[in-house]
Amino acid sequence: MNRASARAAAEALQLLYAPRTKVMFHGKSMEPILREGDNVVLEPVAFEDVEVGQIITYRYESKYPTRRVVARRSDHLVLWCDSWPSLRFHVHAADILGRVVARIRDGEQLDCTDDDWKAQTQQALRVYRRSHGSHLLRRLRRAIAQRVLGREIPPLPG
């Protein structure tokens, strides 16, 4: 095993088995709740205990992305980035490393039980549902038109 693989395995084990672990968040995918350089506090979580709206960190190749859970399926979770509304991701139980329970920015800690965190979660889920709902309506409109008219119709703008 090379050094990089060994380090990745050690990081994954630490995330899986430490009672709480602090890791640095990278990127812009979860703004405004998480920003580049924030420290996030993770705790281990079982697949069946993950709830819609929570933010989780998971294993994807040699990386550990952190994203919001927007739907549960029997064998996987559907994830979304707060600032990339058109993208969706899927993660299986074996790849979940932990859920985010707090964020530390500029020495200030915001817990997932705080009102500001809860408000940001509700806002993110509203945006997701709005974008996901309009996508489903467009698909339904096209399916009905195909069945009734027997032909393709152009998609609605937007």
Q: Using one digit for the tens of pLDDT, what is the confidence trace for 21-56?
A: 888 999 999 999 999 999 999 999 999 999 999 999
Looking at the domain assignment, is residue 139 inside a domain?
no
Mean pLDDT of all residues belonging to the chain: 84
Looking at the domain assignment, is residue 141 inside a domain?
no
Looking at the domain assignment, is residue 142 inside a domain?
no
Residues 6+ positions from 134 with CB-CB distance below 8 Å:
158
Q: Which two tokens stand for residue 64?
A: 């550990």
Looking at the domain assignment, is residue 55 inside a domain?
yes
Give the pLDDT score at 89.
94
What is the tens place of the pLDDT at every residue in 43-96?
999 999 999 999 999 989 878 899 999 999 999 999 999 998 778 899 999 999
CB 38 within 8 A of CB 47: no
Looking at the domain assignment, is residue 70 inside a domain?
yes
Expressed as residue numbers, the domain containing 36 is: 3-112
Looking at the domain assignment, is residue 124 inside a domain?
no
pTM of the model: 0.76
Looking at the domain assignment, is residue 136 inside a domain?
no
CB 153 within 8 A of CB 145: yes
Looking at the domain assignment, is residue 121 inside a domain?
no
Tally the domains of the chain: 1
15 pLDDT band, cuts 50/70/90, is low
The H-or-E segment that residue 81 falls in is strand 76-81
**3-state SS assignment for residue 41:** strand
What is the Cα–Cα distance from 35 to 141, expressed in whole angstroms?
A: 38
More reliable by pLDDT, 2 or 22: 22
What is the tens place of the pLDDT at every residue in 97-130?
999 999 999 999 999 999 999 999 999 998 888 8
CATH number of the domain residue 103 falls in: 2.10.109.10
